[in-house]
Amino acid sequence: MALPNYFISCDWGTSNFRLRVVETTTLTILAEHKTDCGIKLLYENFLKQREKEQTQFFADYLKEQISSLPKEHQKHIIVAAGMASANIGLFELNYADFPLNTCGNNLIWKHLVFNNNIEILLISGAKTNSGMMRGEEIQAVGLEQELKPYKKGFLLLPGTHSKHLTYDNGIYTDLKNYMTGELFEVLSKKSILVNSVSTTSSTLLEKPFLEGVSLGLQGQLSASLFSIRAKDLLQTKTKEENYFFLSGLLIGDEISYLEQTTENIFLVAPDPVFSLYKLALKQIINPKQLILLDDKVLENALLLGQKKILLQYENNKAL
């Protein structure tokens, strides 16, 4: 079945919203529009009114944002991934169950058409018995060609809630979640450490970061946290050194279970997170096992994953 010439990629996360007009064959981005009105903020706005039900409220916001795209590209089908399919989003979809195929054919999707002339192909999240994700699953599906030559390994998608996926010959068999990013946010901004941690520079301070990584790898996360405050009060470390020490401590704890692995590790992330995880992983992983994929690969993976779901929809429509 032939795909449409264009589609609108919608990446709707907890904190951010992004639309991109995509040329389907080449995945060339022709136009882009972003806002900071993620699912969380829009849901809060929804609760403040009583005129519209939830799905229509979200659809109307989507329609409003589409008007910022070039007029000739406003009628394309929208392929939406991320928190749009959550219970606080546009329309709730159940999580698909692991294992997941890299062709994406066991993800759940739903075609929606609204009276404001919006046509959406909404994609579900995915879950195991102990982990879940919404948004990263479509990136994982889009990464098939990058992982396929290596056959097996662990795919690491760092973030506020990092995801580690076990990959085995075209199938993601398991998922682990780590709250590393959120823990850093809480500890550095809302705990007793708030006045002992800060940074004004994007330059990585490697020595304190690796000190933290080493202790995290040794399972010393909890035992090492208060030392950050002590080092600040005793003026043995600067607040900026403490910032990178805390980051290393949390990342080291996250990756500690990989220290003895002989499997490949696929790291996919934007900077500065990419550089931090790369440095940490190099402490425990043979360089030949470490496959580094930057943010450009990740951006393309999202579009490629959405294209795969669009193909499934078109094939299903033709039946």
Nearest-Å Rg of the Cα atoms of the chain is 21
Along the 319 residues of the chain, how does pLDDT read in single tens digits? 689 999 999 999 999 999 999 999 999 999 999 999 999 999 999 999 999 999 999 999 999 999 999 999 999 999 999 999 999 999 999 999 999 999 999 999 999 999 878 899 999 999 999 999 999 999 999 999 999 999 999 999 999 999 999 999 999 999 999 999 999 999 999 999 999 999 887 889 999 999 999 999 999 999 999 999 999 999 999 999 999 999 999 999 999 999 989 999 999 999 999 999 999 999 999 999 999 998 899 999 999 999 999 999 998 887 6
* Rounded Cα distance, 156 and 151, in Å: 15
* Rounded Cα distance, 126 and 207, in Å: 38
* Rounded Cα distance, 34 and 226, in Å: 39
**C-beta separation of 21 from 10 below 8 A:** no
Q: What phi and psi values does residue 254 have, to the nearest 5 degrees?
A: -60, -45
Burial of 200 (0-12, 13-18, 19+ CB in 10 A): exposed
Residue 75: both structure tokens together: 């009628």
- How many helices (H) and strands (E) are present in the chain, helices listed first? 10, 15
Q: Going edge to edge, which strands form the sheet with 126-127?
A: 96-97, 126-127, 132-133
Name the 3-class secondary structure at 95: coil
What was the pLDDT predicted at 1? 62
Q: How many CB atoms lie within 10 A of CB 54?
A: 17
**C-beta separation of 171 from 183 below 8 A:** no
Name the nearest CA neighbour of 107 among 81, 143, 144.
81
What was the pLDDT predicted at 2? 81
CB within 8 Å of 179: residues ≥ 6 apart? 160, 161, 162
- In this prediction the pTM is 0.94
Q: What phi and psi values does residue 260 have, to the nearest 5 degrees?
A: -100, 5
